[in-house]
Structure 1
Amino acid sequence: MFQIIEYIKFLLKSTNQHGVHSPFVYELVTKCFYDKTKHEVYSNLSDYRTSLLKNKQQIEITDFGAGSRVFKSNLRAINSMAKTSGSTLKRAQLLYRIIRYFKPQHTLELGTSLGIATQAMALGHSKNHVVSIEGCPNISDFTEQQLNNFNIKNITLKTGEFDNVLIELQDTKHDLVFFDGNHNKEATLKYFNVEVDKAHNDSVFIFDDIHWSKDMVEAWEIIKIHPKVTVSIDTFFLGLVFFRKEQVKENFVVRL
């Protein structure tokens, strides 16, 4: 019910490219968000997700995040996880287009899960090295094998709690960070604050499920007003923030 109400509010506030007066955001919306090209890579994204949906293997989950609204047991089937917890094909395609558009060379993903988004970001730009962190060792082992099966080479998968792995990466700057784990306010803000100090002018931060709960909405509102953030885009499912000093501070709500 919360998400339904949030989506109605989103629709009332949102616009398409015609309501966007920033040239930077207008170009992003028209050339990336609304790109209708049937990219060849889409078949790879579809094959990857389909293979997960057909996989009935069960694995035991260690969950360090906000938990699941669907699963009551820690023993979960891969196909059920792919159906309920993994990125949708449409969202994977969008992530692919975002990477293709911005061409980052160093990407960090917090929350690998089954690697649907990870694969999309790796395929978006051949020179993009994706470091992805997964807290659950069993998921990490499975996903590493899955990515190898699909011959994805530009990914380094790290296993462990985010806090511990981020200490290892404290001297590494990232062009793009995808926050897709620990869907709660405290953790989201904590990891944002770790990475925002290392953000450069052209960095892109993407937050998954910003309307997932009241907690996440509050986190998103705090992130938007951070002094280093100049532009934010709310697409309902994903929130994007930018640090471009040449931009006037502005928040956009865009329908996909």
Structure 2
Amino acid sequence: MIYDYIKYLFRAKDEYSLHSPFLFEFYTKIIKDKNHSNSFQEIEDLRKQLLKDERIISITDFGAGSKLNLSNQRKIKDIAKNSQKSPKLGQLFHRIIGLYQYKNIFDLGTSFGLTTAYLSSQVVDSQITSFEGCPETAKIAQENFTKLSLKNINIIVGNIDETLTQKLNEIPSLDFVFFDANHRYEPTVRYFEQCLEKAHEGSCFIFDDIYWSDEMKQAWQYIKNHSSVTVSLDLFWVGIVFFNKKQTKQDFVLKL
């Protein structure tokens, strides 16, 4: 990933290279905006608590697993340190949902729920469905949502290969999806294509760790080249795609 990151730094552009009004607004109002919401501090205080939590839980993992710990017995503080998205990314997602007023949101991979909390705290009447394979992890996430007084999140526990299909059949459309469940090519592409059936021209899909492995790099190439995708944004840590047919098909590498 170091080599990929160096290449990214050389390729990444800022707002001065963007001629599309849509992308210019996205960069200036979302990527460059550093204003902090009061809710951020509550989430980050909770992160500090998790980083000190010595409890050991049993992990059920249906995905590619961890590169740092192969044991299914892990301390909460270690999971919080290695598996949670950074505050910078959480706040980025928060601003995207706020700017476009997304209401129907899927979060594929709850973990301890910190990123999910960022997704839920922007639009008052939004509904977040968060999928988690590990029952013990989901239990802690629910505890965290209760501490943060977040009542618009529904955690679906189980193998996403089964639970995602069932939930998609129950909803009319999807505004926003964060894919962070299985860092392998086939499941990532399959989840993308399943959710795509519920996407509309204003939808936004975000894929985590697009340089995490060769399989994830291949999955990102497939996704951004898909005929339904009109705009793809490479921020190294995540890849973002939009489906607005009024936009010409474009691919950008942007500074985060």
Alignment TM-score > 0.5, same fold: yes
Match of 2:211 in 1: 211
Query: Normalising by structure 2, what TM-score?
Result: 0.96
CA distance in 1, matches of 2:106, 2:6: 32
Identity of aligned residues (%): 41
Structure 1 residue 141, shift from structure 2 partner = 1.4
1:160 counterpart (154, 158, 161): 158
2:206 is the counterpart of 1:202: no
Work out whether residues 43 and 148 of structure 2, in 8 Å CA contact, stay in contact via their aligned partners in 1: no
Kindly provide the amino acid, as one letter, of the partner of residue 103 in structure 1: Q
Q: Distance in 2 between matches of 1:36 and 1:114?
A: 24
CA contact (8 A) 1:49 1:89 kept: no
Structure 2 residue matching 1:70: 3-state secondary structure = coil
Q: Secondary structure at the match of 1:175?
A: strand
Alignment of 1:28-43 (within 5 A): 28-43=26-41
1:118 aligns with one of 107, 116, 119 = 116
Q: Residues of 1 paired with 2:123 and 2:49: CA distance?
A: 23
1:50-89 alignment, distance < 5 Å: 50-89=48-87
**TM-score of the superposed pair, with normalisation by structure 1:** 0.96
- Tell me the distance in 1 between the aligned counterparts of 2:36 and 2:145: 23
Give, as a single letter, the amino acid of the residue that structure 2 aligns with 1:137.
P
- Residue segments in structure 1 that go unaligned for 5+ positions in a row: none
Q: 1:13 is matched with which residue?
A: 11
Taking the aligned partners of 1:123 and 1:38, their CA distance within structure 2 comes to 12
1:45 positional shift: 2.2
Distance 1:206 1:37 in 2: 22
- The CA RMSD over aligned residues, in Å, is 1.0
The 8 Å contact of residues 208 and 238 in structure 1, kept in 2 or not, is answered as yes
Q: Which residue of 1 aligns with 2:180?
A: 180
Measure the CA separation in 1 of the matches of 2:145 and 2:40: 16
CA distance in 1, matches of 2:75, 2:84: 12
Unpaired runs of 5+ in structure 2? Answer: none
Contact 1:140–1:159, Cα closer than 8 Å, also in 2: yes
C-alpha contact 2:204 2:241 (8 A) present in aligned 1: yes
Distance 2:70 2:209 in 1: 21
Return the offset for 1:133.
0.3
